[in-house]
Amino acid sequence: MENKPRLTFWQIWNMSFGFLGIQFGWGLQMANMSPIYKYLGADEANLPYLWLAGPLTGLLVQPIVGAMSDRTWTRLGRRRPFFLAGAIIASICLVLMPNSSALWMAAGLLWVMDASINITMEPFRAFVGDKLAEEQRTLGFVMQSFFIGIGSTLANALPYILTWAGVVGIMKSGIPYSTLIAFIVGAIAFLGAVLWTVFTTDEFPPDDIEAFRKKNAEGSIVGNIFKEISEAVKDMPSTMKQLAIVQFFTWFALPFMWQFYGLTVARHVFGAVDEASAEFKAGTEWGGVCFAVYNFVCFLVAFGIPPLAAKIGRKGVHIVCLMLGGLGLLSTYIATGPYFLWIGMAGVGIAWASILSMPYVILAGAIRPERMGVYMGVFNLFIVIPQVVQSFLTPQIYKPLLGDNPLYAVMLGGASMVVAALCVFIVKDVGAAKVEGVAAGGH
């Protein structure tokens, strides 16, 4: 559909609301999986191996789901069937996760949960390209960032809030009851938010439904999907290749924070000796609060990004935001107390708002609409590949180069994000030129 109608603010709100639930699931995982693994007896140096589920399932699932959703049309539309199926499975896994009785059980559930979250999330990125004209896409992706910030803030802070409210005690596995309740609440939030988007937002059908069905009937489904993915990789626009470099250093940085920040807070700020100590529980919960701070900042600044991008350009916004995020992680080294950490996390929150929007806005302007799903899926390879590299590399360098110290892992992540900011200079934002051309023409 070439001439897309302008959507109202609330229509964009409704189509993005599902991201609140998706990020509630991700937020619980990011803040709690390392502590859960430690409660179940995991070795600290091997934590990145146990986090491989996310990047590897994304590597396999997102391009396939993107191509499949491009070729799908049902009563629920093109993308919404995937939203719904993934949300149901992910919500079940969220309920089961804190009930894990062994390390292998938690790791296995994480694989299933991450695959299902990826099934839900990937079509949401293409959804913005489907529904919105070029001049509204920045708002569309920023709205997703807004809901990601809200969902993550609630998820990150919930165990701490539950403990503050009087939820005490631990299960036989050592996992606190506050974590159990938080994951159950997350399952309800995940499914409820996705259902809101499914039932309040429609989709544009293919321009020629008969031609669409005829094309999809040619050849085998599996063969067509992999042919579509391979052709997309072969015909990848230059802008996408340039963004790939930025994405590599960005997403190489973030796992260091997710995997080691809570442990850093527990050890270096709260003085925890081991995971059995009261300081470890307090420190890792405070790490979750710090994650809530960066996500709170994310949704506070999200709607400031479009006007700023209009003034200094989408690239300029991304450079500034990534630089603030990298410096924020590096500042953990000089943290003198729990509240000082919030300063660095504010920088990370500003970066996170841009990471979740600007690369997708720039990408959407450089790809053909009919291949939106598959290219959004392929683009996510540039998110998951650096995470896979980080997961395999970190255990090899954790003791000899990082001194068996989670603080230095967090700082390595900060340095990588600074490099990502510098790499944005090489990106050519062709979509911005299109918007400027339309504005100049008065259309």
Domain boundaries, the chain: 9-441
Tokens of 29: 């995982």
Tokens of 386: 């650096």
CB burial string 23-60: b at 16+ within 10 A, e below:
bbbbbbbbbbbbbbbbbbebebeebbebbbbbbbbbbe
C-alpha to C-alpha distance for 223 and 209, rounded to whole angstroms? 21
> How distant is the alpha carbon of residue 285 from its chain centre?
21
C-alpha to C-alpha distance for 347 and 294, rounded to whole angstroms? 7
C-alpha to C-alpha distance for 19 and 150, rounded to whole angstroms? 9
Q: What is the mean pLDDT of residues 253-267?
A: 91
HSE-CB at 419 with a 13 A cutoff on CA atoms is 15
C-alpha to C-alpha distance for 200 and 401, rounded to whole angstroms? 51
Percent of the chain residues topping a pLDDT of 90 = 30
Cα separations in angstroms, 71 against 1, 141, 373, 436: 15, 23, 9, 32
Rounded to the nearest integer, the mean pLDDT of the chain is 84
C-alpha to C-alpha distance for 53 and 32, rounded to whole angstroms? 15
- Per the confidence metrics, is the pTM higher than 0.85? no
Percent of the chain residues topping a pLDDT of 70 = 92
Assess contact for 97 and 113: CB atoms under 8 A.
yes
- φ/ψ of 260, rounded to 5, equals -120, -10
Candidates 388, 379, 391; CA nearest to 122 is 379
Tokens of 255: 């796992």
Tokens of 251: 């997403």
Confidence of residue 310 (pLDDT cuts 50, 70, 90): confident
pLDDT at 28 over 80: yes
pLDDT at 2 over 70: no
Cα separations in angstroms, 434 against 147, 366, 379, 443: 28, 10, 21, 12
Assess contact for 187 and 91: CB atoms under 8 A.
yes
pLDDT digits (tens, 9 = 90+) for 140-190: 878 887 888 788 888 888 888 898 898 888 888 888 899 999 999 999 999
CATH number assigned to the domain covering 9-441:
1.20.1250.20
Candidates 383, 431, 441; CA nearest to 129 is 431
Tokens of 271: 């003085």
pLDDT digits (tens, 9 = 90+) for 90-119: 999 999 999 988 888 988 898 889 889 888
324, with CB counted inside 10 A (0-12, 13-18, 19+), is buried
C-alpha to C-alpha distance for 245 and 216, rounded to whole angstroms? 33
Candidates 90, 97, 79, 86; CA nearest to 31 is 97
Rounded to a whole number, what is the distance in angstroms from the first to the last CA of the chain? 18
pLDDT at 270 over 80: yes
Confidence (pLDDT) at 350: 94
pLDDT digits (tens, 9 = 90+) for 74-97: 788 788 888 899 999 999 999 999
pLDDT at 381 over 50: yes
Q: What is the CA radius of gyration of the chain?
A: 21
C-alpha to C-alpha distance for 278 and 266, rounded to whole angstroms? 10
